[in-house]
Amino acid sequence: MKVIRYTEMPRYEAAHHDGMHCRRVQGHDVSPAQLGWQGLSWLLPGGRTSLAASTVEKLYLVLAGEVTIGDGREEAVLRPYDSCYLAPGESRQLRNDSALPAAILLTMPYETRVSPKE
């Protein structure tokens, strides 16, 4: 068992993310998780990501606030406990059009496999 406290979660910068504070929850340098990794992001009012695609699938779960997510063709507003699946190669943009911060849990596989950490 590997417990990670919020205060121990390292911050990370994600390219083309404006007004977003990100922490690594599990995987990568935090835990030996092999199925993928998780990130917790705080999207500030007016914050956004670019409309970009990834080579791997992504799962988003809104924990607090409201997040508008779009794929370049359609948009949806996600509220607490709403989730969204994005397929590999599917473009996405996240946006916070509200006056309050939003919390988002991201789960995704590694782009390339990593070795287990001891």
Cα of 91 vs its chain's centroid, Å: 14
pLDDT at 111: 82
Q: Is residue 25 part of a domain?
A: yes
Q: Is residue 4 part of a domain?
A: no
Q: Is residue 3 part of a domain?
A: no
The string of pLDDT tens digits covering residues 8-39 is 999 999 888 999 999 999 999 999 999 999 99
CATH number of domain containing 34: 2.60.120.10
- The boundaries of the domain holding residue 70 are 9-108
- By percentage, how much of the chain surpasses pLDDT 90? 90
Q: Is residue 42 part of a domain?
A: yes
Average pLDDT, the chain: 93
Is pTM, for the whole model, over 0.85? Answer: yes
The string of pLDDT tens digits covering residues 94-112 is 999 999 999 999 999 998 6
